[in-house]
């Protein structure tokens, strides 16, 4: 899951030139549309798109009124080829806590070929973006480099966060209700069916959509899977697995192995130093001012874990670990600063109120003692693989998830499942878990991919699958594509 503020989708660097689309309407609807869309601009997309809002009840158990109303924010990236009769694609964002419309620029690039013939529907999930975003307000900006995360009064931090949305009905900000919102948007746009594409937590939303409204889905493409039966929030063993792959690849790489022959031991040495917070004066990597940084085990391991989400950042990790193990914390400080450079919400980053509201009520209550013990049995981050969530969950408001929530999905809708070999949070085993109960599915492991790798490597196969509605004669060789294993080994060269 995208459970850090790293904006992995926004690192996609794909150049695209677009023709101006017809903005009178999107794809021809099957039914009379009830949601009026208007031409608009969104951040990062040069051409006009379509925008609108749909009012729904915040608390679905109470009739909608001025006091019980939530306006869902909707953006449609219209198809380029106006004559196309292909069904639209609804994108389900990750997190939990990403706002889909804030990813419009990245998706416009990554899904450019699909957009030629398909509208792309983006709906801010309730609790994100302009759909009552559950974003914790802070009195003032605190530089992540200088704050001692171990000394924070977590209960007070959570209480302060909750006051930001004290008027919201938090039990209604859940996965199942989000699916009813997406259904309402589909109906309001006039479509009998849509394709869905979900990444990371977006796959959890996709599985829930398949479970509750299979009749509305033509095909489902789900990348980096979190099936319903999985408990989201255990990132110890999966992080260790991904780091083991990094160590293995470094040993097989001439320059990396020569520069960092004891990479795993370097990491263990760094963790040993972090048994107590490290304080050191350095020049701030962003402001240039001299500051005293505070490095805690939680802060450091979470930062390093986040670099494993993409191969482009993964290649920096051996250098950062080795430098830090030898007392040079400047590269690590630069990485930490990059993750949170200002007090403004960065597009694509998490609305953490929704993140915790969902994980603390839909996932962690299902865990038993053996789950915690098993996940803590790792060298990468130990109990920090889950305590970053459970420590907050102690103070978060409780509500009951539906009884059937964790039941596997068994529909016969065509479902294409992707996993990345190097994924530090949703490894291929989770795709296999989902594949077992589905009647009409295919699981594809991208051998040189990490988290949500299909957006960068397999969009041609996804488009072909959507338009055929089956896996027959779809070319999945993208999953076997060779990618150079590059590693940053010194300040002068990238090998």
The pair of three-digit structure tokens given for residue 115, joined into one six-digit string: 């957009």
> Is residue 207 within 8 Å of 434, Cβ to Cβ?
yes
For residue 67, give Cα distances in angstroms to 170, 180, 293: 15, 20, 46
In 3D space, the residue among 125, 312, 118, 307 whose CA is nearest the CA of residue 221 turns out to be: 118
> Is residue 145 within 8 Å of 152, Cβ to Cβ?
no
Residues in the chain: 495
DSSP SS3 for 280:
strand
Superfamily of domain 8-137+169-230+404-480: Alpha/Beta hydrolase fold, catalytic domain (3.40.50.1820)
> Is residue 91 within 8 Å of 122, Cβ to Cβ?
yes
Instruction: Report domain extents, the chain.
Output: 8-137+169-230+404-480
pLDDT in tens, the chain (495 residues): 544 333 332 333 222 222 333 333 446 677 666 899 999 999 999 999 999 999 999 999 999 999 999 999 999 999 999 999 999 999 999 999 999 999 999 999 999 999 999 999 999 999 999 999 999 866 566 788 998 888 889 999 999 999 989 899 999 999 999 999 999 999 999 999 999 999 999 999 999 999 999 999 999 999 999 999 999 999 999 999 999 999 999 999 999 999 999 999 999 999 999 999 999 999 999 889 999 999 999 999 999 999 999 999 999 999 999 999 999 999 999 999 886 555 567 888 899 999 999 999 999 999 999 999 999 999 999 999 999 999 999 999 999 999 999 999 999 999 999 999 999 999 999 999 999 999 999 999 999 999 999 999 999 999 999 999 999 999 999 999 998 888 999 877 655
Q: Report the C-alpha gap between 3 and 131 in whole angstroms.
A: 20
State if pTM tops 0.85.
yes
For residue 476, give Cα distances in angstroms to 275, 438, 451, 464, 480: 46, 20, 18, 10, 8
Query: 105 — phi, psi (to 5°)?
Result: -65, -50
């Amino acid at each position: 899951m995208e459970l850090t503020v790293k904006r992995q989708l926004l690192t996609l660097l794909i150049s695209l030139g677009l023709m101006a689309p017809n903005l009178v309407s999107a794809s021809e609807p099957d039914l009379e549309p009830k949601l009026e869309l208007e031409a608009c601009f969104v951040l990062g997309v040069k051409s006009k798109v379509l925008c609108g809002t749909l009012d729904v009840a915040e608390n679905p158990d109470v009739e909608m009124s001025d006091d019980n109303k939530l306006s869902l924010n909707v953006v449609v990236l219209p198809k380029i080829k106006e004559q196309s009769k292909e069904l639209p694609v609804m994108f389900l964002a990750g997190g939990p806590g990403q706002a889909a419309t804030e990813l419009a620029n990245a998706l416009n690039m990554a899904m450019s070929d699909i957009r030629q013939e398909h509208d792309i529907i983006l709906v801010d999930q309730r609790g994100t973006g302009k759909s009552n975003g559950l974003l914790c307000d802070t009195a003032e900006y605190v530089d992540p480099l200088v704050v001692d995360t171990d000394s924070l009064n977590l209960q007070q931090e959570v209480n302060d966060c909750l006051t930001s949305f004290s008027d919201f009905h938090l039990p209604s900000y859940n996965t199942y209700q989000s699916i009813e919102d997406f259904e309402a948007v589909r109906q309001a746009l006039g479509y009998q069916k849509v394709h869905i594409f979900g990444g990371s937590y977006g796959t959890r939303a996709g599985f829930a959509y398949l479970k509750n409204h299979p009749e509305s889905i033509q095909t489902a493409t789900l990348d980096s899977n979190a099936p319903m039966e999985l408990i989201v929030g255990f990132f110890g063993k999966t992080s260790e697995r991904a780091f083991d792959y990094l160590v293995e690849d470094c040993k097989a790489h001439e320059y990396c192995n020569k520069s960092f022959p004891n990479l795993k031991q370097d990491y263990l040495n760094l963790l040993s130093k972090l048994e107590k917070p490290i304080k050191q004066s350095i020049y701030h990597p962003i402001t240039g001012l001299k500051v005293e940084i505070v490095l805690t085990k939680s802060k450091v391991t979470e930062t390093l874990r986040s670099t494993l989400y993409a191969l482009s950042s993964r290649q920096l990790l051996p250098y950062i670990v080795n430098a830090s193990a030898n007392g040079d914390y400047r590269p690590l400080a630069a990485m930490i600063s990059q993750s949170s450079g200002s007090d403004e919400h960065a597009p694509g980053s998490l609305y953490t109120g929704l993140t915790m509201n969902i994980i603390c009520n839909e996932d962690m209550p299902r865990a038993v003692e053996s789950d915690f013990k098993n996940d803590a049995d790792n060298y990468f981050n130990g109990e920090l693989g889950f305590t970053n969530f459970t420590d907050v969950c102690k103070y978060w408001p409780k509500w009951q998830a539906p009884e059937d929530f964790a039941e596997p999905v068994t529909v016969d809708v065509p479902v294409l499942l992707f996993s990345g070999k190097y994924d530090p949070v949703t490894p291929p085993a989770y795709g296999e878990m989902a594949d077992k109960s589905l009647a009409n599915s295919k699981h594809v492991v991208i051998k040189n991919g990490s988290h949500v790798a299909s957006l960068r490597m397999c969009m041609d196969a996804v488009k072909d699958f959507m338009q055929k509605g089956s896996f027959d004669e779809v070319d999945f060789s993208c999953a076997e594509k060779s990618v150079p294993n590059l590693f940053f080994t010194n300040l002068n060269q990238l090998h």
